[in-house]
Amino acid sequence: MNAAKKLVKSMEELGVEAIFGIPGGANLPFYDALVDSDIWSYLMRHEQQATHAAEGYARVKRKPGIASGTSGPGATNLITGIVNAAMDSAPLVAITGQVTRPFMGTDAFQESDIVGMVLPHVKYATTVLRSERLTQEFVNAYFCASSPRAGPVLIDVPRDVFQEEVSGEFTLEPEPGFARSPREPSGEAILKAVELIERSKRPLILVGGGVWSSDATSEVLELAERVHAPVVTTTPGKTSVPEDHPNVLGVVGMHGRVEANLAMVEADLVIAIGSRLSDRAIGPANEFRKGKSLIHLDIDPSEDSKVVKPDVFIQSDCKLALRALLRTLRGSRSDVDPEWIPRLKEVGAVYDEYMLSQDDSGALSSWKVVKLLRDELPRSAIVTTGVGQHQMWAQLFYRVLEPGTFITSAGLGTMGFGLPAAFGAKVAAPNRVVANLDGDGSFLMTCQTLANIAENDVPVITVIFDNRSLGMVRQWQDLFYRRRYKDVDFTDLTNLVKLSEAFGVEAHFVQDYNDLRSHVRRAVRDDQAMVLDVPVNRDEKVFPMVPPGKPLEETIYPPGFSPRPVLDLKGTSTR
């Protein structure tokens, strides 16, 4: 058989079920081999959408998603999704076609150095120049993508390499260095961490996306209960813990929950687990570090002191490290501040009450829409988001009830991510409800994915927060650029309902909350694709907000709201 057919055979043996991509001249032999395979290939409408769909699939399955593009523009169109997967540590294998070997380096038609372009953002990338190496390189890449720390890889294959005849058996074992087992945590580091925990009066657990990747949710919650610590999350960490747990306060950072940011400010110890301590989560590193100790658990040694120098760095898989901590801790803590978590929870409840009391007679309120969706969607529903104000409203008001059910573009902040990611998630979990919460600007970047949803009968519910603007950019221009609005507002010429219907998906313009509730209930009941165009106010702003470059203490609250009454009544930190 030729190398392409042998490659597909190895993919089947490894359990690959789906490929998202677009064929072209350079990767046609690969697609020809797929004709006789049980692997389902989805013809996306743009290669960027292929990578986002593959990432949505990977985040649900916890195994690599596969995206494919031809040479030249097919390959370069994959780059945004590859970098997105790198920033959020998602396992992704990109397979690109390349011009034939005799023409490489001659600026041939549709030639591009895709390996050189993506090298800074992938775990591994190579151009396969020997056909007998193709299957082994895929196996290497597949295991590399999912081995700790997960991320994207790329194999670039000249068309004539695909076509060459090959003989011999293939192995499903990666070569040395491509699949690494997580190291056991240092006993010395564990003892130092336990000492810091046992001295702390206000310990706080900061959860990142690594907790979901390592399946360490139960260990995090056990630690929180043992040491009576509140749990806050980064944006990618939101999917890692159930937000109805009594210790979980929600997302921290630039658009974090009021109570979560207060907890971060008041803590005397932060236990950061599976987080890269992004500026969007902790603010300026020097300000974050003041007055508190830091224990940092991460599988990636490069995270040690990359942003903040910790008192203790534990390099290990989150699950292994937490189990070691739990074994070493002496019983449960009884000397921590007993009123800290209840007071923080009360601040959050007052914030919710304030927001829900606001008058929205002129338009639907985004936060009320999000809370309605949480009430109507099943606990197990998977929600994806685009990027913008709607994403921040979702992280503030959409409570994750089952880990692994919130998928968003956090590190790169890629507009257009939500719809193709939802498509990939539904392919991965056909028996679960999947909903995409999107903004109109984000939706319009990848709306062609509706064609895939309709043609493949992969029903996704899409709710568009339609303010006819790039809402987050507009908010920044309002707050920081003296309302000098430029290139942020759309006209009403594009009818999003008719656009969706043109792709073959039922769509409705939502008149009020009852209208929205009725449509969502029917879409959930019948498991059908539906687009709901929800008008929201163009001047609506997402608060709380920490100005860029400022510490969490400088949070801007909604006009008329302050946490001070609760803090003054209950007592503030004495740290």
Q: Are residues 135 and 219 in the same domain?
A: no
Task: Give the total number of structural domains in the chain.
Answer: 3
- Per-residue confidence (pLDDT) for residue 571, from 0 to 100: 60
Read off the pTM. 0.96
**pLDDT confidence tier of residue 338, bands split at 50, 70 and 90:** confident
- Per-residue confidence (pLDDT) for residue 458, from 0 to 100: 98
Residue 511 pLDDT more than 50? yes
**Checking DSSP bridges between strand 269-273 and strand 406-407, what pairing results, if any?**
unpaired
Strand partners, 124: 153
**pLDDT confidence tier of residue 332, bands split at 50, 70 and 90:** confident
CB neighbour class for 432 (10 Å; exposed up to 12, middle 13-18, buried from 19): middle
Write down the mean pLDDT value for the chain: 95
Q: Are residues 447 and 505 in the same domain?
A: yes
Q: Please list the helix, strand and coil fractions of the chain in percent, rounded to the nearest 5, in that order.
A: 45, 15, 40
Instruction: Tell me which residue range forms the domain holding 28.
Output: 3-163
- Per-residue confidence (pLDDT) for residue 573, from 0 to 100: 46
- Per-residue confidence (pLDDT) for residue 135, from 0 to 100: 97
Q: Are residues 374 and 482 in the same domain?
A: yes
Q: Are residues 324 and 246 in the same domain?
A: yes
Domain assignment of residue 541, yes or no: no
- Per-residue confidence (pLDDT) for residue 549, from 0 to 100: 93
Q: Are residues 191 and 158 in the same domain?
A: no
Residues 159-198 pLDDT 10s: 999 999 999 888 999 999 999 888 899 999 999 999 999 9
Q: Are residues 225 and 81 in the same domain?
A: no
Residues 6+ apart with CB under 8 A from 539: 478
Domain assignment of residue 564, yes or no: no
Residues 262-304 pLDDT 10s: 999 999 999 999 999 999 999 999 999 999 999 999 999 999 9
238: domain CATH number is: 3.40.50.1220
- Per-residue confidence (pLDDT) for residue 335, from 0 to 100: 79
Q: What percent of the chain has pLDDT over 70?
A: 98
What's the whole-number mean pLDDT along residues 372-381?
98
- Per-residue confidence (pLDDT) for residue 70, from 0 to 100: 98
Residues 524-575 pLDDT 10s: 999 999 999 999 999 999 999 999 999 999 999 999 898 887 777 666 543 3
What's the whole-number mean pLDDT along residues 446-460?
98
For the ranges 172-186, 349-363, 404-418, which has the lowest average pLDDT?
A: 349-363
- Per-residue confidence (pLDDT) for residue 361, from 0 to 100: 67
Domain assignment of residue 277, yes or no: yes
Residues 6+ apart with CB under 8 A from 205: 220, 223, 224, 229, 230, 231, 232, 270, 271, 273
CB neighbour class for 481 (10 Å; exposed up to 12, middle 13-18, buried from 19): exposed
- Per-residue confidence (pLDDT) for residue 575, from 0 to 100: 34
Residues 87-144 pLDDT 10s: 999 999 999 999 999 999 999 999 999 999 999 999 999 999 999 999 999 999 999 9
